[in-house]
A = this chain, B = another copy of it.
Amino acid sequence: MPRKLMLGFFLAAAASPLFAQADRPSSTAEPVTGRWVVTADVHGTPIYVPMDLAQRGEKISGTYDGQKLEGSFKGGALHFEAKDDMGGQIVDGTLVDGALSGKVVDYDNANKEHPDQYTFTATPVRDRGPVVPRRHEFVPSAFYREFSALNEPVLTVSSGDTIHTSTIDAGGADETGQRRIAGGNPQTGPFYVESAMPGDTLSVHLIRLRLNRDYAVSDDAIVPRGLNSALAAKMQHGGKTVRWHLDLAQGLASPERPGEHTMHYRIPVHPMLGCIATAPSPARAAPNTGDSGSFGGNLDFNEVVEGATIYLPVFVPGALLYVGDGHAIQGDGELNGNALETSLDVEFTVNVIPKRRTPAPRIESTTHIMAVGLGGSLDDAFREATSNMAQWLVEDYKLTPSEIAEVIGPTAEYKVSEVADRNAGIVLKIPKELLQTMR
């Protein structure tokens, strides 16, 4: 990975190995056996690397960032080399008080004479084993406008725990209508989930998602992705703010100042979270909270609702979960640029799925599995959604390429999830019922 780093991360997407299985440290006889998280200090930039070590006498095997490694551990000194056909790392470290530290010599086969060199530290990843899940009440006081790995966690929880909290609206106003921060989807969190490590998946099950105030704010624009030339000319004066009244008792939304034809227009609300994210790697500048990516973020997908489970890859220790940007109701794609933006009462349970890397956000409802595809165009997003689902069917159902085609082709439901932000989104849904025979 550092080799890719050197050239600018352009190829990072290609590197998503599934980790080999390894047990956690269990005895003094094999002090380094188990799963580690390495923090490499690459000339000032922290890079997290998952490492699995298996000790047999003085022999060490395992994986380093998905590459096979071979080496030795004797007298407290760890030495190994991990390599593939492009290059490798030679790691030398010392075990002190259960933690490793040392240096990495990182070489590229094309330039083996001039390797890069930097220091690292590593700590073991410990599974606490079964614990009694707790429920946390959390009242947010600070909000963040970037999905950053560097923001201080507001709460530390365990895998299996439940958090009850609230989110403010996209413009920064809370449930009392008071503005707490500048707009742009300010987030509640980040929540640190113990034992979550780079290479894991975090699942977030939304137990409860409810309105907690009686209005929402939107606008009367149509975003550029929705406009052909003729419609662009017609809609050119849009963009004015539209306030919607939320009838909490009946669960209905209606414009506060309706037009002539919308006097009796009422829409049933269906609260959803526009944003849900883990923190991406701090190797690069943190994305703002209007953006999205493999880490989730501003998905604006209207099936991120009460009852759904969201799966997100973990890039940093603790995962650092963010939630925000509640919508009372939103059509597919968030065509106005804003949905019915409002504050929400939110409750969810987090679970760590260790050593399972998901390439991009995935969602599960009672009826469907759903693979999110994100890209600069709907066409790119479509390809990513299909690939995300195909990989899912391989991982969970072991399907062959032919079987993938026969399953997705006749059953696919593709909906447009996002057109309002930099990434367009397409979600591929497959009915769980049709997959039942394949487990």
Contacts and interface: CB of A to CB of B under 8 A. Distances in A.
Interface in A352-398: 375-380, 382-384, 386-387, 390, 397-398
Contact of A335 (B378, B384, B386): B386
Contacts of A109: 240-241
Contacts of A424: 376, 379
A7 B274 CA distance: 13
Nearest to A405: B220
A38 B122 CA distance: 47
A172 B9 CA distance: 12
Contact of A400 (B261, B267, B412): B261
A220 B382 CA distance: 19
A223 interface: yes
A222 interface: yes
Interface stretch (A51-59, A190-198, A205-213, A252-260): A252-260
Interface stretch (A72-80, A225-233, A307-315, A342-350): A225-233
A253 B410 contact: yes
A234 B416 contact: no
A241 B182 contact: no
Contacts of A20: none
Nearest to A86: B240
A359 to B, nearest CB: 9
A411 B221 contact: no
Contact of A14 (B239, B257, B375): B239
B333 A412 contact: yes
B290 A401 contact: no
A116 B11 CA distance: 44
A229 B255 CA distance: 26
A135 B88 CA distance: 45
Most chain B CB within 10 A, of A6, A11, A170, A238, is at A6
Nearest to A117: B179
Contacts of A406: 218, 220, 242, 255, 259, 262, 265, 336
B386 A226 contact: yes
A65 interface: no
Interface stretch (A27-35, A39-47, A94-102, A154-162): A39-47
Interface string A398-439: 111111111111111111100111111010000000100110
7 contacts: A6-B173, A43-B181, A110-B217, A111-B243, A146-B285, A235-B404, A376-B377
Given A229-B236, A336-B410, A377-B377, 5 more contacts: A6-B171, A7-B217, A231-B383, A259-B399, A333-B412
